[in-house]
Amino acid sequence: MSKYPTVLFLMGPTASGKTDLAIKLAQQCNCEIISVDSALIYKGMEIGTAKPTAAERQKAPHALVDIIDPLDSYSAGDFRSDALALMADICARGHTPLLVGGTMLYYKALVDGLSPLPSASPAIRVAIEEEAEIKGWQAMHDLLKEIDPVSAARIHVNDPQRLSRAIEVYRISGKSLTELTEIKSEPIPYNIKQFAIAPSEKSVLHERIERRFHLMLAAGFEQEVRALYERGDLHLDLPSMRCVGYRQMWEYLQGTMDYEEMVFRGIVATRQLAKRQMTWLRGWENITWLESDSEQNFDLLKAAL
C-alpha cells in the first residue's frame, strides 16, 4: 500500500469517451474531476471545445473549466500550480482527485515539473541578432556547438528563433539549455494511477471525430465563433483562437475559405490533434489502456481506488 493518497489520471485523445466515464466515476466513487484540457479553460467557448454541458457539470463539477477569458493566457506552469492546490483540497476532504483530459503537456508539467528556464531578455536577444547579422547564423550555430552540443545537434542552422533562444539561455544563466531542461522537480506526493481510453481502431476514432464535428455545427458552433469574432479584441495569434475548429471557423467568417472547406479542415485538424495525443500516450509509461465504450472501464477504474 502506498503511503500517498491515490490520484487517477484518465487520459485519451479527443472524442474517445473520457467525459462520460469520468462523470459516472465522480457520481459513484467520491471522485472530484479536475479538467486537464487547454481548451476548456476558456469562457464562451462551449460548443467547439466539447465542453461538458451545464447538466453534466451539475452532476459532476469540473474544476479548471471556464476560468479565463479567451483574450488571456494560461501556461503549463499555471496549470501545475492550480492542479496541485486542487488535489490537496480534494484529498483533505477524503475524496479522490480524478484528472481528465487530453492536454498531455499539462500532465507532463504536473508529474515532471517545469525546467527552471530563465525569462527572455530583450537586450540579450537583440545582441544575439546583431551578432548574427555580422557573423551569420552558421557562426552562431558553431558557437552553440561549443556551449551546448546536444541542443546544436537538435536545432537546425536555419531555425534562428530556437538557435537564438538556446544561446540566450546560456548567456543569461551560464548553463546550457540541455542542462536546465534535465532538472526535474521533486516527485509529487501522490500514488498516481494512469489510464488512457481510445478505440482500438483508428478508423473508429476518425468516425467519432467527424460525427462530433457535425453535431457541433448543428448545435450552433458557427454562431458561437461569430460572437467571439465580433468582439473585436480577439485574433488568430491567440492560443484560444488556435484551438482546433475555431481557427477554421474564424477563417471561414473572414471569407478566406468556403463552408465545405471549413468543415473539411476542421475535421482534419481534429484528427491531427488526436494523432498527436496518441503519439504522446504511446510514449507514456505505466498506462492501463481502456477500449472506448467498453462496459469494463468503470470497474477497472473503480478497482484502482
Burial (CB < 10 A; 0-12, 13-18, 19+), residue 301, is buried
> What are the residues facing 279 on neighbouring strands?
none
% of the chain beyond a pLDDT of 90: 94
Q: Is residue 248 domain-shared with residue 133, that is, in the same domain?
A: no
- What range does the domain containing 216 cover? 6-113+189-303
The domain boundary, picked from 132, 154, 181, lies at 181
Check pLDDT > 90 for residue 96.
Answer: yes
Q: Is residue 48 domain-shared with residue 97, that is, in the same domain?
A: yes
Q: Mean pLDDT throughout 216-240?
A: 97
Does a structural domain hold residue 19? yes
Q: Is residue 31 domain-shared with residue 154, that is, in the same domain?
A: no
Q: Is residue 136 domain-shared with residue 163, that is, in the same domain?
A: yes
Q: How confident is the model at residue 1 (pLDDT cuts 50, 70, 90)?
A: low
Q: Is residue 160 domain-shared with residue 248, that is, in the same domain?
A: no
Q: What is the mean pLDDT of the chain?
A: 95
Q: Is residue 279 domain-shared with residue 196, that is, in the same domain?
A: yes
Beta carbons of 23 and 100 less than 8 angstroms apart? no
Does a structural domain hold residue 232? yes
**pLDDT tens digit string along 155-194?**
999 999 999 999 999 999 999 999 998 887 788 999 999 9
Region of 83 (left: φ > 0; alpha: ψ -120 to 50; beta: rest) is: alpha
Q: Is residue 284 domain-shared with residue 194, that is, in the same domain?
A: yes
Does a structural domain hold residue 169? yes
Q: Is residue 64 domain-shared with residue 206, that is, in the same domain?
A: yes
The domain boundary, picked from 149, 181, 213, lies at 181
Beta carbons of 195 and 23 less than 8 angstroms apart? no
Does a structural domain hold residue 101? yes
Does a structural domain hold residue 268? yes
Q: Is residue 177 domain-shared with residue 238, that is, in the same domain?
A: no
Check pLDDT > 90 for residue 279.
Answer: yes
Check pLDDT > 70 for residue 88.
Answer: yes
pLDDT at 120: 87
Closest CA to 38 of 21, 47, 51: 51
Closest CA to 64 of 92, 47, 89, 94: 89
Check pLDDT > 90 for residue 243.
Answer: yes
Closest CA to 190 of 270, 91, 119: 91
Question: Among 111-125, 167-181, 210-224, where is mean pLDDT lowest?
Answer: 111-125
Does a structural domain hold residue 202? yes
The CATH number covering residue 63 comes to 3.40.50.300
The CATH number covering residue 156 comes to 1.10.20.140
pLDDT at 117: 86
Determine the distance from the C-alpha atom of residue 270 to the mean position of all C-alpha atoms in its chain, rounded to a whole number.
13
Domains: count for the chain: 2
Taking the C-alpha atoms of residue 53 and residue 228, their distance in angstroms, rounded to an integer, is 19
Q: Is residue 171 domain-shared with residue 142, that is, in the same domain?
A: yes
The domain boundary, picked from 181, 203, 222, lies at 181
Does a structural domain hold residue 1? no
pLDDT at 116: 83
Q: At what angle do helices 246-254 and 259-282 cross, to 10 degrees?
A: 160
Q: Is residue 202 domain-shared with residue 290, that is, in the same domain?
A: yes
Q: Which residue has the cell 464562451?
A: 44
pLDDT at 114: 84
